[in-house]
Amino acid sequence: MDKKNIGRGATILTSGNSKKFKTGSWKNRYPSHSKEKCKNCMMCVPYCPEGCIKQKDGILQGMDLNFCKGCGVCANVCPFKAIEMKEI
Ligand code: SF4
Ligand code: SF4
């Protein structure tokens, strides 16, 4: 193989480029958020390893499923059982 034609690998050339890669297709479960049960305590927000739980003005807006990997951490930490993991 010609070494000159091998591109650079494992290199992050620009900051913030993870937004371009919609990794949410990896999951086999997704979080279903109940606005009725949610108390907007925001406990789930910092626990999400993907940072894809959105809130605005103290109100939880939901999960960005383009990036959610379906780990279920948010459902486990929610003290009000407002998030249920569902099969895709
Ligand atoms: S399932 Fe995991 S990745 Fe998806 S919103 Fe919940 S904590 Fe974040
Ligand atoms: S942890 Fe549960 S109750 Fe608190 S904001 Fe998240 S979904 Fe709502």
- Predicted structure pTM score: 0.85
pLDDT averaged per 10 residues, the chain (length 88): 69 80 90 98 97 97 96 98 97
Residue 49 is assigned to a structural domain of this protein: yes
Give the integer Cα–Cα distance in Å for 76 and 49.
13
At 11 the pLDDT is 77
Asked whether 60 and 53 are in contact (CB, 8 A), the reply is yes
Ligand 1 midpoint to CA 17 (Å): 20
Q: Whose CA is nearest to atom 1 of ligand 2?
A: 78
CATH of the domain at 64: 3.30.70.20
Residue 60 beta carbon below 6 angstroms from any ligand 1 atom: no
Locate 51 and state its tokens. Answer: 């940072």
Residue 80 beta carbon below 6 angstroms from any ligand 2 atom: yes
Residue 53 is assigned to a structural domain of this protein: yes
Residue 43 is assigned to a structural domain of this protein: yes
Residue 59 is assigned to a structural domain of this protein: yes
At 34 the pLDDT is 98
At 80 the pLDDT is 98
Range of the domain at 57: 35-88
